[in-house]
Amino acid sequence: MTDASLTASPETPDGGAMTVMFDGACPLCRREVGLYRGLEPLQPLQWLDVSAETTTFADPQDRSRFMARFHVKRADGKLLSGAQAFVALWLQLPGWRWLGHAASLPGITALLELIYVGFLRIRPTLQRVVVACERS
């Protein structure tokens, strides 16, 4: 799915901050976002769990779209998805900015997108493994 196919975004106030949209129902996503949330960003970030029942959408079908891929909505309103979203977030976080700058080099974001799409294919299996490990 490309950014162009996303026709709506969660109905949340932006307050001039980048909004990080994540699947809080995913144990992998929760862990990664927890790591990021522990850092002091260059600019304010809002964290939005798109799996939460309290999160509303202009189109109810958008919930599954936003849960399927990582997204950020920049302060200027531009919606980014996949590798572009990660790069935008990394550029705001101490300890991760170097990776954001490296990923911004020509061709690197496109390569990261291919890797991300591959990860998305195995994500359900990895989620089951993490849940099983958490239970034991």
- Provide the whole-model pTM: 0.84
Q: Which residues contact 68 (CB under 8 A, 6 or more apart)?
A: 1, 120
pLDDT in tens, 17-57: 999 999 999 999 999 999 999 999 999 999 999 999 999 98
Instruction: Indicate the pLDDT class of residue 16, thresholds 50, 70 and 90.
Output: confident
Residue 98 has pLDDT above 50, yes or no: yes
Q: Domain range spanning residue 126?
A: 3-135
Distance CA 18, CA 76 (A): 8
Number of domains in the chain: 1
Give the lowest-confidence range in 33-47, 103-117, 120-134: 120-134
Cβ atoms of 18 and 74 within 8 Å: the answer is: yes
In the prediction, which pLDDT does 61 show? 84
Pairing of strands 71-73, 18-22: antiparallel
The token pair that represents 126 in the structure block: 């990895």
Distance CA 63, CA 47 (A): 15
